[in-house]
Amino acid sequence: MASEAPLLSLELQAPTIHRSNGSDDGEDEGGPKRWYHYTPVALIVAFALAPHPSILRILVNYHLQVLESPFSFGVHLLALYSLTFGIFASLIVCISRDPGAVSNSENGRDDLRDANGDLDLTEAFMAPEADSDYPLPGTFCFKCQAARPERAHHCSTCGRCILKMDHHCAWLATCVGHRTYPAFIHFLGCTTLFSLYVAVFSVNALVFAFKNPLAIDTVTPIHELFLSFAGIVFTLVIGAFFLYHVYLVSTNQSTLESLTPFMLLRYLPPPSPASPSSLSHGLSPQRRLLDENRMSSAQRRVIRQAHSQIFMYDLGWKRNWAQVMGWDNRHGHGLGRAGRKRLVGWVWRIVCGGEGNGDGRTFPRNPRAPEMLARLAAELQRLDKEQ
């Protein structure tokens, strides 16, 4: 008698990864970039180069011919083109360096797979859904078919998980992650300083032109007016963005962590069995306290308030900056080998921003966070019982 197939099979098959094959429909995720994806990068280069003809005209006509000051000419030329070099150096690093990809076989093994290469049955039930908005730390990404480390997120535009993903930058046509975030900060800082310098430099020349209309030609003040307006606008726009990221670095947050308060729920401790909550026990383990739709308005308000106070990776602003920007105080001083290594590291950071400390997979946590999370979990359970 022929054996019949079982009615139910528990054999798990890994989901198929859908990658773009270069088709024109544009619906597949994370395919190879085409030339038009880099149009915003070309605009950045155009914006960075556009003011230089006017800058050179002001330097020659005003500082050399009118003021007859080669010293001020040289100082302004050195300062402006040093900042321009910093802008392009960090821009090249942001575009060319991998932000930090999560590979399938990091360290020679996959922590969430068994010896046969199949997903372990327990982990399959515990792992979050593929489209989960708030993935648990250190779980599995079904889209990439890889272990997802802490603070890593899947970028649907790039089609892969990024280590400590900050955000996907459409202007750079790539993600800003663990390995490119210092260069991104450097790019914003240099752009802000360049815009501010151009604004002050041009306004001073424009004021002189108004007070001494016969001392300079009639065309140069038009360039000064254009640069003054553009410098002020870019200083306000890029400067505000730069200050926001200074705040993020000082509190050791990413943009995703800062803008998504409900991501804080993934760090909550398990509820006490003596006081079950429908927020947790009514859901599967992988979705414990992650369903925003089940929360009352009071619970959401409490979470938003806690989000402004609980910073999971805040170690103090000095240690935060050292971790994010890659400062390492272990290197020595003087002219020894350690001192030279420290000097080279600082030069590298000044030129293009450098690279952050660590491997982008594990991060030290705020020692005060567990107590604050326990209070948050207790408050959420109390509000859940009152519903």
Give yes or no: residues 247 and 363 share one domain: no
Please report which helix (H) or strand (E) contains residue 362, including its range.
none
Q: Which domain holds residue 224?
A: 36-102+136-252
Any domain includes 166: yes
307 within 8 A of 134, measured Cβ to Cβ: no
Decide: helix, strand or coil at residue 204: helix
Give yes or no: residues 217 and 338 share one domain: no
Burial of residue 252, with CB atoms counted within 10 A of its CB: 0-12 exposed, 13-18 middle, 19 or more buried = buried
What is the pLDDT averaged over residues 354-379?
89
d(CA 271, CA 304): 20
**Average predicted confidence (pLDDT) for the chain:** 79
Give yes or no: residues 64 and 167 share one domain: yes
d(CA 177, CA 158): 12
Q: How confident is the model at residue 262 (pLDDT cuts 50, 70, 90)?
A: confident
What is the pLDDT averaged over residues 324-343?
65
Any domain includes 131: no
Any domain includes 364: yes
Bridge partners of residue 350, in order along the sequence: none
Pick from 43-47, 173-177, 259-263: least confident: 259-263
Tens of pLDDT, residue by residue over 203-229, are: 999 999 999 988 889 999 999 999 999
Tens of pLDDT, residue by residue over 7-41, are: 334 343 333 344 433 333 333 455 567 777 789 99
pLDDT of residue 114: 38
Q: Do the bridges between strand 167-169 and strand 174-176 make them parallel or antiparallel, or are there none, so unpaired?
A: antiparallel
Tens of pLDDT, residue by residue over 265-287, are: 888 876 655 555 544 433 333 34
249 within 8 A of 220, measured Cβ to Cβ: no
pLDDT of residue 12: 38
128 within 8 A of 82, measured Cβ to Cβ: no
Give yes or no: residues 219 and 294 share one domain: no
Measured in whole angstroms, how far is the alpha carbon of residue 383 from the centre of its chain? 34
Amino acid at 149: P
d(CA 382, CA 375): 11
Any domain includes 125: no
Tell me the CA distances in angstroms from 202 to 86, 87, 230, 231, 313, one per residue in order.
21, 20, 10, 8, 42
Give yes or no: residues 229 and 376 share one domain: no
Any domain includes 25: no
Closest CA to 185 of 245, 252, 239: 245
Stated pTM of the model: 0.80
Q: How many helices (H) and strands (E) does the chain have?
A: 11, 6
Give yes or no: residues 44 and 191 share one domain: yes
Give yes or no: residues 235 and 315 share one domain: no
The total domain count for the chain is 2
Structure tokens at 156: 């649907």
Q: How confident is the model at residue 347 (pLDDT cuts 50, 70, 90)?
A: confident
Tell me the CA distances in angstroms from 122 to 112, 125, 127, 233, one per residue in order.
10, 5, 9, 55
Give yes or no: residues 216 and 329 share one domain: no
Give yes or no: residues 155 and 300 share one domain: no
323 within 8 A of 359, measured Cβ to Cβ: no
pLDDT of residue 343: 75
Q: Where are the alpha helices (DSSP H) in the chain?
A: 39-49, 52-58, 70-96, 121-126, 181-211, 220-251, 255-259, 297-307, 317-325, 337-352, 369-386
Give yes or no: residues 58 and 168 share one domain: yes
Any domain includes 374: yes
Decide: helix, strand or coil at residue 292: helix
pLDDT of residue 278: 45
If one counts every other C-beta atom within 10 angstroms of the C-beta of residue 350, the result is 13
> Checking phi first, is residue 248 left (phi over 0); if not, alpha (psi -120 to 50) or beta?
alpha
Tens of pLDDT, residue by residue over 312-328, are: 999 999 999 999 988 76
Amino acid at 44: I
Any domain includes 7: no
Give yes or no: residues 73 and 156 share one domain: yes
What is the pLDDT averaged over residues 103-124?
41
Q: Which residue in this structure is represented by tokens 């947050």?
A: 253
d(CA 219, CA 227): 13
Give yes or no: residues 71 and 219 share one domain: yes
pLDDT above 70 covers a percentage of the chain that reads 73
The rounded radius of gyration (Å) of the Cα atoms in the chain is: 27
Any domain includes 9: no
Q: How confident is the model at residue 132 (pLDDT cuts 50, 70, 90)?
A: very low
If one counts every other C-beta atom within 10 angstroms of the C-beta of residue 369, the result is 16
